[in-house]
Amino acid sequence: MIPTPEVPAGIPVGCNGNLIITFRDYQVFIEKIAGIKDTFAIEDVSERILGELNPIVAEAILNGQQCIGVNALLGLQMNSRKLSKQIEEELDKELFDIGLGVADFTIQNFNYPEEVQRMAEKVAGQAFVGDVNRYATIAMADGMEKDGGNMGAMGAQMAMGMQMASQMAGAMGQQAAPQQPAQPAAPAQPQQAAAPSGDRFCPNCRKMVNGKFCPDCGTPTV
């Protein structure tokens, strides 16, 4: 468990590699571990070796630091050879008391557990989507591969991508445009009454005309 500023409780980190154990003093090993057993396999003492190994690995990785950055995996991978030699020397000293020694210790790689790796990939994906144009381009390319070059699906994806870009551009333009001060409304002008076109009403044309008969239709006016 590696404590980080983001996760004080620690992020689980594993390492894979090779550990070669040798007999330094088989008589001491028989006296302290094997006893009167006729045969003794490495599996019978593996828990003892791992019990000595775990704190040594943690001490070598943290190197006295309270916590390290969340990108610790890259730094650990870069220093894997140095860490391997340091762990080999410390473990060899610890196993000396039971007649064993370390012939070789090599760290091949460091890794996060699967669930932590999925979280890291999700965070990286969210950061990648920040570039909408790039995301739309990749999405269209993926769609072409999945649809076998289906032009209809590609056109729909292109339209969706262009719509997303247009909406974002419009939103950014609205945020960037300075707001103009509101102008006071002009006072309403009094409306002048329309001058009458005549003093008599035509019931057929329904308008005011001059004379006893409508000049347009000849209907008697009132």
Burial of 154-175, coded b for 16+ CB within 10 Å and e otherwise, reads eeebeeebeeeeeeeeeeeeee
pLDDT the model gives residue 9: 77
**What one-character DSSP code corresponds to residue 23?**
E
State the Cα–Cα distance between residues 173 and 10, nearest whole angstrom.
44
CB 4 within 8 A of CB 68: yes
Per-residue pLDDT, 193: 47
Low-confidence ranges of the chain (pLDDT < 70): 64-72, 120, 123-197
pLDDT, tens digit, 9 for 90 and up, residues 64-119: 666 666 566 777 788 888 889 999 999 999 999 889 999 999 998 888 778 777 77
Q: What is the pLDDT of residue 85?
A: 93
Instruction: Write out the DSSP string of 30-59.
Output: IIIIITT-S---GGGTHHHHHHHHHHHHHH
Confidence (pLDDT) at 20: 93
Q: Token digits for 89?
A: 């020397």
